[in-house]
Structure 1
Amino acid sequence: MEKQTLTAGEAPAPTAGGRQQLPPHADLNLLRTFLAVYRSGSFTAAAPRLGLSQPTVTAQIRTLEQQTGRELFTRLPRGVEPTPYAHELAGQIAGPLDALATLEDAGATAAPVHLAGPSELLCVRVLPALVPLVADGVQLRVTQGLPEPLLEEMRAGRHDLVITTRRPRGRALESVPLADEEYLLVASPVWADRVDEHAQADDLCAALRAVPMVTYAEDLPIVRRYWRSVFGKQLTARAAVTVPNLYAVLSAVNAGAGYSVLPRSLCQEYLDSGRLVLLHDPEEPPLNTLFLVQRPGADTNPDVLRVRDRLRQAARSW
Structure 2
Amino acid sequence: MRVSLDLLRSFLAVHRSGSITGAAELLGLAQPTVTAQVRALEEALGRPLFDRVPRGVMPTAAGDELARRVADPLDRLDAVLADEPGTPYPRTVFLGGPAEFLAARVLPAVAGLVADGLELRVTAGLPDQLLDGLVAGRLDLAVTSVRPRRRGLTAEPLHDEEFALVAAPAWARRLPDPVTPHALRGVPLVAYAEEAPILRRWWRTVFDTRLTRTPNLVVADLRAVLAAVVAGAGASVLPTYLCERPLAAGELVPLLRPAVPPLNTLFLATRPQVGGRREVQAVRRSLLDAAPGW
TM range (shorter): 0.7 to 0.9
How many matched pairs?
Answer: 255
Could you tell me which runs of 5 or more consecutive residues in structure 2 were left unpaired when the two chains were aligned: 15-19, 45-76
* Distance change (3 Å), C-alpha of 1:46 and 1:36: farther
Q: Is residue 2:105 matched to residue 1:106?
A: no
Question: For residue 206 of structure 1, what is the aligned residue in structure 2?
Answer: 182
Question: For residue 118 of structure 1, what is the aligned residue in structure 2?
Answer: 98
**TM-score normalized by the length of structure 1:** 0.70
Question: For residue 35 of structure 2, what is the aligned residue in structure 1?
Answer: 74
Question: For residue 317 of structure 1, what is the aligned residue in structure 2?
Answer: 293
Q: Are the equivalent residues in 2 in contact too, given 1:46–1:157 (CA < 8 A)?
A: no
Question: For residue 232 of structure 2, what is the aligned residue in structure 1?
Answer: 256
* Distance change (3 Å), C-alpha of 1:305 and 1:191: same
* Distance change (3 Å), C-alpha of 1:45 and 1:85: closer
**TM-score normalized by the length of structure 2:** 0.76
Q: Secondary structure at the match of 1:183?
A: strand
Please give the alpha-carbon distance, in whole angstroms, between the structure 2 residues aligned to 1:159 and 1:86. 33
Please give the alpha-carbon distance, in whole angstroms, between the structure 1 residues aligned to 2:172 and 2:215. 18
Question: For residue 83 of structure 1, what is the aligned residue in structure 2?
Answer: 40
* Distance change (3 Å), C-alpha of 1:213 and 1:264: same
Could you tell me which runs of 5 or more consecutive residues in structure 1 were left unpaired when the two chains were aligned: 1-31, 63-71, 88-97
Q: Kindly report which structure 2 residues correspond to 1:13-92, keeping only aligned pairs within 5 A, or say none.
A: 40-41=13-14, 57-58=29-30, 72-74=33-35, 81-83=38-40
Question: For residue 159 of structure 1, what is the aligned residue in structure 2?
Answer: 139
Q: Are the equivalent residues in 1 in contact too, given 2:22–2:135 (CA < 8 A)?
A: no
Please give the alpha-carbon distance, in whole angstroms, between the structure 2 residues aligned to 1:217 and 1:210. 20
Matched residue type, 2:261: P
What's the offset of the Cα at 1:275? 1.2
Q: Secondary structure at the match of 2:186?
A: coil
Q: Is residue 2:200 matched to residue 1:220?
A: no
Range that drifts further, 294-303 or 207-216: 294-303
Range that drifts further, 177-186 or 32-41: 32-41
Q: Are the equivalent residues in 1 in contact too, given 2:161–2:240 (CA < 8 A)?
A: yes
Q: Which of the two has higher C-alpha Rg?
A: 1
What's the offset of the Cα at 1:203? 4.9
Matched residue type, 1:224: R
Q: Secondary structure at the match of 1:267?
A: helix
| Percent of aligned pairs sharing the same letter | 45
Question: For residue 285 of structure 1, what is the aligned residue in structure 2?
Answer: 261
Higher RCO (CA 8 Å, separation ≥ 6 residues): 2
* Distance change (3 Å), C-alpha of 1:84 and 1:292: closer
Q: CA RMSD in A?
A: 3.2
Please give the alpha-carbon distance, in whole angstroms, between the structure 1 residues aligned to 2:21 and 2:91. 19
Q: Secondary structure at the match of 1:116?
A: strand
Matched residue type, 2:98: P
* 1:213-233 deviation line (CA, Å, top 9, x unaligned): 000111121111111111111
* 1:194-220 deviation line (CA, Å, top 9, x unaligned): 224xxxx65522221111000011112
Matched residue type, 2:194: E
Question: For residue 235 of structure 1, what is the aligned residue in structure 2?
Answer: 211
